[in-house]
Amino acid sequence: MVSPTVDLRAPARVKRFATSVPPALATVSAAAGALFVIPLGYLVVRSFGDGFVSTLRAEPFAEPLARTLGLAVAVAIATSALGTALAWLVVRTDLPGRRVWRKLIPLPLVFPSFVGAFCFLAAFTDGGLVEEYILQPLGVDGRWRIEGFGWSVVVLALFTYPYVYLPVAARLAALPPSLEESARSLGRTPVGTFASVVLPQTTGAIGAGALLVFLYSLSEFGAVSLLRYDTLTRSIYTATQSFDTSAAFGLSLVLAICAVVVIALERRWAERRVRTEAVGAGRSTITYRLGPWKGPATVFMGSVLFLGLGGPIAVLLQWTARGLARGSELHAERLLPAARNTAVYGITGAFVAVAFVLPVAYLTVRHPRALLARFVNAVVTSSFALPGLIVGFAFVNFAQIEVVPARFYLSVEVLIVAYVVHFGAQALRASQVAVGGVPRRIGDAARSLGASPLKRFFRIDLPLMRPGLAAGGGLVLLSIMKELPATLLLIPTGSDTLARRVWFSADSLLYAQAGFYALALVVLSGVLTWLLTIRPLERGARL
């Protein structure tokens, strides 16, 4: 049974906003915005208190900023193409083993950027895995210089494409197959159907993921530093190392301003683009036969996962094996407590983030031209562009000045709130796509039948939004599990996480321990992602 859809021949602009915002929605959204203002407000106060203008005059930031923006744009474009292609192959084609691919594709996101870049360097360096197991058996003498702009784009794209893949896969799972079946019945080829039907319906999801990749690339430091590509975050790090806090906060504010400008432009584009409405998918999902392209598509999928997942895991296994052969201690007794905390923090933060930003998603989608909607959207999304160190400083000082009770200082509650503020943009963008995919006419029909708002939400909206919300929660989950700077500043005394174990082990040159804990992080993330994200996506494709 295929669910009804709107007429493809009349993709008129959908009126998605009303003249006034419901008071309850406005109040809840304003409260959420107030929480997300904390790091931005702290950054503004510190920057102008230390002389923002004089700091910019003293710091040569124009060239690093240009490199940062160029990198962010290039990575966003690369991940948009890569994530969309992977989502379409997995959700819409007869690709062999696509159930397995679906479980593995999101996992590169779990690698901390510095670990992923370091694994990449270790694999291609002299005596690395590539030379030992590929080049030498073939008699090839090859040397690569893994550094600079091009390699930074490649490495970041391989570890951030799930930001695009997850929301696009969720959107494809929610699209009714009748849309594409109608286009095919009119004689359109699979490529023509994708360009004229699928792509317009997934533009919002692609844009949401690309924006997250752009903001992530703005604040990226570890990978680009290892790859010797000088960006603005390196200048911020150098300033913090020399205790020049005025320069660090001033340059961070420049990043925040860039993020706000890009977010504003993206929202204007989102409001102007033509949208069509589609109800959730039916029980059967259209499947395209790849035919002679099945082999190349499989090789493409395997290559992406080898570079973004298999290769780094192989490097980590090599570190662990060599360390054990040399008698290194793994301190496995620390594994279970760190894994437990990682799972608890990740799951709690993901659920809280989705629940917290869902009202904001309703506000920004249903009332996009309201001033409150524009403000809250900018505040929530721009927090993702701030370096985690700045977010951590903000909440440390927020607790120290006794705005909150003293018992919450260095508590799990403050740590979870910091996670939600830092990564809430990921849940918001996916939630906005999910809310935008729910036709308002269905709610209007239920209202005319006497259904209460809560009943309409749980019986109509939530089932249709579940794949998109699961995708957003999965992004937050993976990001929290690998987050380091804010965790180092805010984690309760005596607690630990797998990311902290990886960091301290690698910092102490204990690569066996670093590989061991990083492997545990990948396994734990894979299990939780399958339970909380992949399974809801699969159910969404069948409902």
Q: How many structural domains compose the chain?
A: 1
369, amino acid identity: R
Cα–Cα distance for residue pair 46/60, rounded to 1 Å: 20
Residue 284 lies in a domain: no
Residue 16 in domain: no
CA distance 92 to 506: 41
pLDDT classification of 3: cutoffs 50, 70, 90: very low
Determine the average pLDDT of the residues in 74-83: 95
| 497-520 average pLDDT score | 83
| pLDDT classification of 537: cutoffs 50, 70, 90 | low
- Residue 128 is predicted with a pLDDT of 66
**Does the pLDDT value for residue 170 go beyond 50?**
yes
pLDDT at 57: 67
Place 56 in a pLDDT band, splitting at 50, 70 and 90. Answer: low
Residue 503 domain-assigned (yes or no): yes
pLDDT at 108 over 60: yes
Q: Classify residue 6: in a domain, yes or no.
A: no
Q: What is the mean pLDDT of residues 438-454?
A: 69
Q: Which pLDDT score, from 0 to 100, does residue 23 have? A: 86
Query: What pLDDT is recorded for position 71?
Result: 93
Residue 165's pLDDT is what? 92
Q: Is the pLDDT of residue 13 over 50?
A: no
Q: Which long-range contacts (CB under 8 A, 24 or more apart) does 527-531 make?
A: 528/343, 528/346, 528/347, 528/477, 528/481, 529/103, 529/106, 529/107, 529/110, 529/474, 529/477, 529/478, 530/103
Per-residue confidence (pLDDT) for residue 203, from 0 to 100: 84
- Mind listing the pLDDT tens digit for each residue in 395-431? 877 655 555 666 666 788 889 988 999 898 888 888 8
Both tokens of 168, joined, read 């696009």
> What is the percent of the chain where pLDDT is above 90?
12
Say yes or no to pLDDT of 309 above 50.
yes
Q: Tell me what pLDDT residue 102 has.
A: 84
Q: Is the pTM of this model over 0.85?
A: no
pLDDT of residue 9: 41
Residues 211-268 have pLDDT tens digits of: 889 988 888 877 888 788 888 887 777 777 676 777 777 777 887 888 878 877 777 7
Question: What confidence score (pLDDT) does residue 172 get?
Answer: 82
**Range of weakest confidence among 89-93, 310-314, 355-359, 408-412:** 408-412
pLDDT of residue 2: 41
Question: What DSSP line would sit under 465-500, residue for residue?
Answer: HHHHHHHHHHHHHHHHHH--HHHHHHSPTT---HHH
The owner of tokens 């492997």 is 519
pLDDT in tens, 342-384: 999 999 999 999 998 999 998 888 888 888 888 888 888 888 8
Q: Establish if 9 belongs to a structural domain.
A: no
Lowest mean pLDDT among 136-150, 228-242, 322-336: 136-150
Residue 451 lies in a domain: yes
**CA gap 232, 70 in Å, rounded:** 12
The stretch 78-105 carries a mean pLDDT of 89
User: pLDDT exceeding 70 applies to what percent of the chain?
Assistant: 80
Q: How confident is the model at residue 300 (pLDDT cuts 50, 70, 90)?
A: very high
pLDDT bin (cut points 50, 70, 90) of residue 479 is: confident
Determine the structural domain holding residue 82 and report its residue range. 23-273+294-542
CB 475 within 8 A of CB 108: no
Supply the mean pLDDT for the chain: 78
Q: Quick check: 415 and 489 in contact, CB under 8 A? A: no
Spatial neighbors of 255 by CB under 8 A, at least 6 apart, are 68, 218, 219, 232, 233, 236, 385, 386, 387
Dihedral of CA 269/271/276/282: which sign?
positive
Instruction: Output the domain CATH number for residue 41.
Output: 1.10.3720.10
pLDDT at 92: 83
Q: What is the pLDDT of residue 113?
A: 79
Question: Does residue 135 carry a pLDDT above 70?
Answer: no
Q: Please indicate whether residue 327 or residue 292 has the higher confidence score (pLDDT).
A: 292
Choose among 347, 403, 301, 400: nearest CA to 531.
347
Identify whether 187 is part of a domain. yes
**Strongest mean pLDDT among 295-299, 473-477, 521-525, 538-542:** 295-299
pLDDT at 467 over 70: yes
Q: Please determine, for residue 390, whether its predicted confidence score (pLDDT) is greater than 90.
A: no
Domain membership flag for residue 386:
yes
pLDDT at 251: 79
The tokens for 241 are 């190392």
